[in-house]
Structure 1
Amino acid sequence: MTAPAPASPHNAQVTAQGGASSRPPRTPVSGAPHLTQAQVGMLREIEVQDEYGQRRSIHIPAERPLTVFVDKRELVTLMTLGAAPELLVLGYLRNQRLIADVSEVASITVDWEVNAAAVRTHRGIANLEDLTAQRVVTTGCGQGTVYGSVMSQVGAVQLPPPAEARIRQSTLQTLLETMRQQDSIHRKAGSVHGCALFQGGEMLYFVEDVGRHNAIDTIAGWMGLHGVHGGDKIFYTTGRLTSEMVMKAALMGVPIIVSRNGVTHMGHELATQLGLTLFGRAANKHFLCYCGFERFDAEPLPPSPTMRVVAG
């Protein structure tokens, strides 16, 4: 049994309840590419047997390959859930710095019958072979890939100063409560990562995929399509904060990252170098701020009654 696909993912603008936002729908920027809306079922029903010998039906995520062709040249195969494949491809091209602006792309056509995405550009991508020659297999779920040319551009990232991009502890807790209430595939089937873009405590876009790198690329595609800038935004992910995730958030211009998981050494080093604020182990009212304290307006909670005071 195939679960229904979400409607119109390209213009989605959601609240914590997953319904329509009170804001008017966003429209694509001038010169935006034409995108198909190749919806596909994201769950499959299978039969399992548990430790008691009982058989029952459950849903699991429907992972599938999506081979990306740029001007008829095969570029990469992405393993994806397929929530918004056109945005995934657009964001992948942006985050890999293969395009500087979405207006360079004329169209993205996804056909699930052949598991392919055909990207047509207006003038081609100059030096595409050179740009993609050096590949780094990352620790991203499903093995993410970062091209060497991207790493060389990280030093040019400029984020807004702390005075212009901050987060209060109460806003962080609102964000975490929004994510706690968010209906998700993970609740139904597990085995996926979720990522969201916030402005203050308001969720602007939420997506899930089998790899967190795919989810952040999809958000990058949504931002590019609608001309959304990252300077006053907050990025949330259920996945760990590796160097790849930190780098992609920085390239999207987002200065504050929140994760339900932890952070790696390289992720922490890169965030410190670039001036990002990282929160990890964030759920309910609990969190750790790993770096970028200057962007954080703390509102400390009172000590728990169970906490012991150790005499010095």
Structure 2
Amino acid sequence: MQNNFISSLPCLRVYENGESIDQQDSIIKEERIALYLNGTKILSTMSIPQDQDAHSIGFLLSEGVIESVADIIKVEIVDDGLRVNVDAKINEENLVNLYREKTLTSGCCVGVTGNFEGKIIEKFVASQVRVPIEMIWKTLGYFYEENDLFNQTGCVHKAMLVDAKGEIIQQAFDVGRHNAIDKVVGKARLNHDDLSKSVLFVSGRLSLEMMIKTAMHDIPIVVSRAATTQLAIQSAQKLGITLVGFAREGRCNIYTHKSRIIL
């Protein structure tokens, strides 16, 4: 199924020694996908047309527009996968914030979020879960091995939720790291998975809005191979999230709430 998101296009591969070869390259496809909420189009996203329903629900829950999966009436993917219709009970104030308080995020595909203030960043993840550092090393070992889209194209991010033993809960892929997180939490929430004792592994760098998304779903631990920003660390500390960055090659940096990691 993943091959539906890959095109084979010609390119000229050039080498430093002066050689060049005409060849076919695997290129990821992205599409403009429209999100309609209660019959009204609220935004479009550029993403891989995979798990579009979970992506939409994850985004709306992350922004507080939908407060619970119990508030969802119907979700359907239409128009050859390029439109998602969501009918749900919504928080009108947070929906208005999406338009009133536009903030350009530091995403690889520039994202927009509105709900950076108020009750969303007043959350605190109080989970008492603790995981051994060995689980992190083990999970990192197969996190990157099981990414066929990246192996073929080098152009997608991955997000994966595991439990305290390292067993996979859900995983998702997209060209945008924010999209990948919204997809994986959307899949988990639609499946009624308990995320209060989960660990989120992501392939991209960690920034403020990533921590807000994590807190909105009560995820206590986030691990990334990449770097983190100062605001991500500050917000993780305030939100009660254990933030682990530069997790690679047998080392990692634990920035906040270190007691959750058993060394």
When normalised by structure 2's length, the TM-score is 0.91
The equivalent position to 2:5 in structure 1, one of 14, 39, 42, is 42
Bigger-Rg structure (1/2): 1
CA distance in 2 between partners of 1:223 and 1:129 (Å): 22
In the alignment, is residue 62 of structure 1 matched against residue 29 of structure 2?
yes
CA distance in 2 between partners of 1:128 and 1:147 (Å): 8
Q: Give the conservation status (yes or no) of the 8 Å contact 1:180–1:284.
A: no
Q: Give the conservation status (yes or no) of the 8 Å contact 2:125–2:219.
A: yes
Q: Give the conservation status (yes or no) of the 8 Å contact 1:98–1:131.
A: no
Gapped regions of structure 2 (runs ≥ 5): none
Between the aligned residues of both structures, percent identity stands at 21
CA shift, 1:263, in A, is 0.4
CA distance in 2 between partners of 1:287 and 1:128 (Å): 36
CA distance in 2 between partners of 1:71 and 1:171 (Å): 42
Q: Give the conservation status (yes or no) of the 8 Å contact 1:177–1:284.
A: no
Q: Give the aligned partner of residue 28 of structure 1.
A: none
CA distance in 2 between partners of 1:155 and 1:147 (Å): 12
Q: Give the aligned partner of residue 160 of structure 2.
A: 196
Q: Secondary structure at 1:217's aligned position in 2? A: helix
Alignment of 1:131-170 (within 5 A): 131-132=97-98, 133-148=100-115, 150-161=116-127, 164-170=128-134
CA shift, 1:159, in A, is 1.6
Gapped regions of structure 1 (runs ≥ 5): 7-40, 299-312
Alignment of 1:114-125 (within 5 A): 115-121=82-88, 123=89
Q: Give the aligned partner of residue 78 of structure 2.
A: 111
In the alignment, is residue 92 of structure 1 matched against residue 59 of structure 2?
yes
CA distance in 2 between partners of 1:134 and 1:85 (Å): 25
Runs of 4+ more than 4 Å apart:
none
The equivalent position to 2:181 in structure 1, one of 192, 213, 216, is 216
Aligned AA (2:129)? A
Aligned AA (2:39)? K
Larger helix proportion of the pair: 2
CA shift, 1:188, in A, is 0.8
Q: Give the aligned partner of residue 39 of structure 2.
A: 72
Change (3 A) 1:124 1:294: closer
In the alignment, is residue 231 of structure 1 matched against residue 196 of structure 2?
yes
Change (3 A) 1:262 1:114: closer
In the alignment, is residue 254 of structure 1 matched against residue 216 of structure 2?
no
Change (3 A) 1:45 1:72: same
RMSD: 1.9
Q: Secondary structure at 2:144's aligned position in 1? A: helix
CA distance in 1 between partners of 2:175 and 2:147 (Å): 16
CA distance in 1 between partners of 2:188 and 2:146 (Å): 21
Change (3 A) 1:129 1:247: closer
In the alignment, is residue 265 of structure 1 matched against residue 223 of structure 2?
no
- How many residue pairs get matched? 257
Change (3 A) 1:289 1:194: same
CA distance in 2 between partners of 1:143 and 1:254 (Å): 24
Q: Secondary structure at 2:218's aligned position in 1? A: coil
Aligned AA (1:80)? S
Q: Give the conservation status (yes or no) of the 8 Å contact 2:147–2:158.
A: no
Change (3 A) 1:268 1:127: closer
CA offsets 1:224-266 (integer angstroms, 9 cap, x no match): 1111122110000000010011111111101110001010011
Q: Give the conservation status (yes or no) of the 8 Å contact 2:2–2:149.
A: no
Change (3 A) 1:43 1:112: farther
Q: Give the aligned partner of residue 130 of structure 1.
A: 96
In the alignment, is residue 177 of structure 1 matched against residue 141 of structure 2?
yes
Q: Give the aligned partner of residue 10 of structure 1.
A: none
Q: Give the aligned partner of residue 261 of structure 2.
A: 296
CA distance in 2 between partners of 1:186 and 1:112 (Å): 27
CA shift, 1:130, in A, is 2.5
